[in-house]
Structure 1
Amino acid sequence: MISETALTQPIGPNAFGHLIHSSGPASDAMWLNLYQHDRAAVPSQSPRWGQAVAAAGNYRCNPQDFHFADGSHAVLPLFTRGVASLRYAWSPPPAWGFGGLLSDEEISPDKLRSVLAHLETLPYVGVKVRPNPLKEHVWAEAMRPGWASIPRLAHVIDLTGGFEAVKARFRSNAGTNIRRAQKYGVEVEAGNSDRLIDEFHGLLELSFVRWARKQHEPAALARFRGLRRDPRSKFATMAANLGEGFRLYVARLGGRPVAAILVLMHHQAHYTRGAIDEGLAGESRATYLLQATAIEEACRLGSTHYHMGETGNSASLAQFKSRFGAIAIPYAEYRYERVPLASIDSFARSTVKRVVGFRDAS
């Protein structure tokens, strides 16, 4: 594991309430143990995912280890970038899923508040945490002064009862579209092979151009941004580290890839990327068959929830997700900064968008 120099820092029980000791970076063994036993864990909180982030994203991995007065224990996967006093920390970095605490028992707001207080003491210019949306109630209650909350919206499917029960909760138009895809002859292949990564990434590059058109963004700029955020090598690294937990589902018509999704599998599954050749896939409703196939596999593997990712303010995306029984979950990303870097970054991005005439597609 790539980690920073240990920031060992004993903490007395009177300093931050429930937290009595932070031993700095957690060991891989401790991190893995909590990940395997925390039923609320999502794949982007795993040590193997951390290795992929460090290798493909050029981040340094510094998972924080916490012990509480009642004997319970937690780990916060944390990643940094920068030099000396200009380092920033994320859990996880942008475009790398959900983060937040892993623990051997339910984390109370008081315990989480003590963790946040400790994070404020670390030598970073800022810390940003994007927790599991299903944990929002704890994070909202635990917030301390000085932390900003950035509103988000995600959709999540409860997989209770197995696939037949989940399918019974699909809206009728979802079933209609799934059957339509089957009648069109859409075939779905799942796996993590290099060939599937190639097909998925080829469709993703087509999507960059489509999004650029909708957002009135120069195609070259959109492609540059997309490939910078999601190069093919990133997905190859994910697949190498997660193994069978990295699942690509590619839909084909007449042997030609027309749509694909990436789903990470664990206690809770996470649909994290989608790509489509809109001209070929639109009429076939291939995306419906892709989602149904992935949801069925998540149920078979014992996942308790199927996260459908960030929805933002897109009404059409929210409608699509709700057809599979997904529930809208308002949550927040939390940020603590000593220097107002987020405001500076927001101003710079807004300026560029005005110059290019950018329009929010949603």
Structure 2
Amino acid sequence: MNAPAELLVDTAAGPAHITTPAPRDIWWELAGEDPGTHPSQTPPWLDCLCATGPYRDTSRLYEFEGGRRLVLPLVGSSRPRILDTEESWPARWGIGGPVCPAEASPAEARAVFADLAGLRALRVGVRLRPADRDVWADSALGYRLEPHMTQMVDLDGGFDAVWQGRFRRHVRREVRHAERSDVDVEVDRTGRLVGAFYRLYCTSMVRWAEQQHEPLALARRRRTREFPVRRLEEVAARFGERCAIWVAWRAGEPAAACVVLRHAGHAKLWRSAMDRELAHPVHAVPLLYRLAIEDACAAGCRTFDMGESAPGSSLAAFKAGFGARSFSSPRCLKERVPLSAAEHRLRAAVKRLIRFQDP
């Protein structure tokens, strides 16, 4: 890691001292004081990006007059400088945004966005957590808001309250069916089951390709590039016991699996996969989710983040069965050239060519 650079700038909130990359001890301190910090806003998440993708640590610590401090997790791309981007986070890496023990003032939020707008990057992006949407989205002057939705289960009241009051009746019925079936469930917090999960992920690629009318070779290339096994290995190693790999076994074979990350009061369902022929008849996936949610409740978590879904999709409806509610979690974008529009047009053209069907 390069030596941190220190800047003193005048902002709408008064003079601010900026340190980049953000000192890890302060980042961890603020993450411990901010009850809204998600697993994807902690230093190990950034380390995993940099270890498995073309990124470098450009996180920023802002210190305002009066002692207010906040950290913005941020990575820059390791492309030629002329093509650089600065994002929190890049697409498919989930929620980023500021880590701040107390709600930032509108002036402080505007100051952060103004500072980012002054960077030489072609694109600046900040994916907000739902709780920060109002103050931060309203303060992103000159930025375009890209809509995203994340689904979360409220764990208030403990697992009994979640099971009885938030799980839908059909989900409870499926879970009971799974508990009577020949399914064995194992949870690993050491990384030992990375291989079992990734085998199921590779099996799932075939089903996803068929559902989306995507050539299998293209699907495998795209998905292994987006999520190589090394990425899961890095996350399991860096998060340690805060990364749980749940696997449902049937007749000695892995039938379904999911990966859940945890930080303080928040659990995040990061990835899941299954062998449909083995898992679906015995409802192995609902059983895994039930156990993972119960585990999060036992750990004192307040929310269980089930990730992003398209509004009105079958995936969104499936998650709603576990009590997941939808929250707006927009991405604030500012681009010197229309990179996102060009990328969208290219993806749309390829989808039309192969008659791709979104799930």
Q: Using structure 2 for the length normalisation, give the TM-score.
A: 0.94
State how far apart, in whole Å, the 1-side matches of 2:145 and 2:55 are: 24
- Which of 136, 151, 155 pairs up with 1:155? 151
Evaluate the alpha carbon distance shift between residue 18 and residue 278 of structure 1 in structure 2; reply closer, same or farther with a 3 A threshold.
farther
- Tell me how large the CA RMSD over aligned residues is: 1.6
> Is 2:318 the partner of 1:320?
yes
Asked whether the equivalents of residues 130 and 333 of structure 1 are also in contact (C-alpha less than 8 Å), the reply is yes
Asked whether the equivalents of residues 97 and 272 of structure 1 are also in contact (C-alpha less than 8 Å), the reply is no
Asked whether the equivalents of residues 90 and 128 of structure 1 are also in contact (C-alpha less than 8 Å), the reply is yes
Q: Which residue number in structure 1 is paired with residue 270 of structure 2?
A: 272
Asked whether the equivalents of residues 19 and 66 of structure 1 are also in contact (C-alpha less than 8 Å), the reply is no
> Is 2:101 the partner of 1:101?
no
Q: How far does the alpha carbon of each residue in 1:278-300 deviate from its partner, in whole angstroms, 9 at most, with x for none?
A: 11111211111111111111111
Instruction: Supply the AA of the counterpart residue of 1:179.
Output: R
State how far apart, in whole Å, the 1-side matches of 2:307 and 2:42 are: 17
What runs of 5+ residues in structure 1 fail to find an aligned partner?
none
Q: How far does the alpha carbon of each residue in 1:49-70 deviate from its partner, in whole angstroms, 9 at most, with x for none?
A: 2212111123101110101233
SS of residue in 1 equivalent to 2:214: coil
Q: Which residue number in structure 2 is paired with residue 260 of structure 1?
A: 257
- Which of 335, 341, 350 pairs up with 1:337? 335
Please show how residues 1-362 of structure 1 align to structure 2 within 5 Å: 2=1, 6-12=4-10, 15-17=11-13, 20-81=16-77, 82-145=79-142, 147-169=143-165, 170-267=167-264, 268-361=266-359
Q: How far does the alpha carbon of each residue in 1:182-210 deviate from its partner, in whole angstroms, 9 at most, with x for none?
A: 11122211113444111111111111121
1:313 Cα deviation from its structure 2 partner: 3.2
State how far apart, in whole Å, the 2-side matches of 1:305 and 1:126 are: 31
1:16 Cα deviation from its structure 2 partner: 2.5
Q: How far does the alpha carbon of each residue in 1:123-180 deviate from its partner, in whole angstroms, 9 at most, with x for none?
A: 21111111223322233322212x1111111111111112122222222112111101
What runs of 5+ residues in structure 2 fail to find an aligned partner?
none
User: Percent identity between the aligned chains?
Assistant: 36
335-344 or 104-113, larger mean C-alpha shift? 104-113
1:216 Cα deviation from its structure 2 partner: 0.9
State how far apart, in whole Å, the 1-side matches of 2:312 and 2:252 are: 32
Asked whether the equivalents of residues 16 and 118 of structure 1 are also in contact (C-alpha less than 8 Å), the reply is no
State how far apart, in whole Å, the 2-side matches of 1:217 and 1:290 are: 28
258-267 or 15-24, larger mean C-alpha shift? 15-24
Q: How far does the alpha carbon of each residue in 1:199-234 deviate from its partner, in whole angstroms, 9 at most, with x for none?
A: 111111111121111111100000000100111111
Asked whether the equivalents of residues 267 and 303 of structure 2 are also in contact (C-alpha less than 8 Å), the reply is yes
State how far apart, in whole Å, the 1-side matches of 2:296 and 2:192 are: 22
SS of residue in 2 equivalent to 1:359: coil
Q: How far does the alpha carbon of each residue in 1:285-319 deviate from its partner, in whole angstroms, 9 at most, with x for none?
A: 11111111111111111111110100113532122
Evaluate the alpha carbon distance shift between residue 351 and residue 190 of structure 1 in structure 2; reply closer, same or farther with a 3 A threshold.
same
1:7 Cα deviation from its structure 2 partner: 4.8
1:251 Cα deviation from its structure 2 partner: 0.9
Asked whether the equivalents of residues 146 and 331 of structure 2 are also in contact (C-alpha less than 8 Å), the reply is yes
1:97 Cα deviation from its structure 2 partner: 2.5
1:18 Cα deviation from its structure 2 partner: 5.1
Instruction: Supply the AA of the counterpart residue of 2:17.
Output: H
**How many residues end up aligned between the 2 structures?**
356
Instruction: Supply the AA of the counterpart residue of 2:203.
Output: L
State how far apart, in whole Å, the 1-side matches of 2:184 and 2:32 are: 33
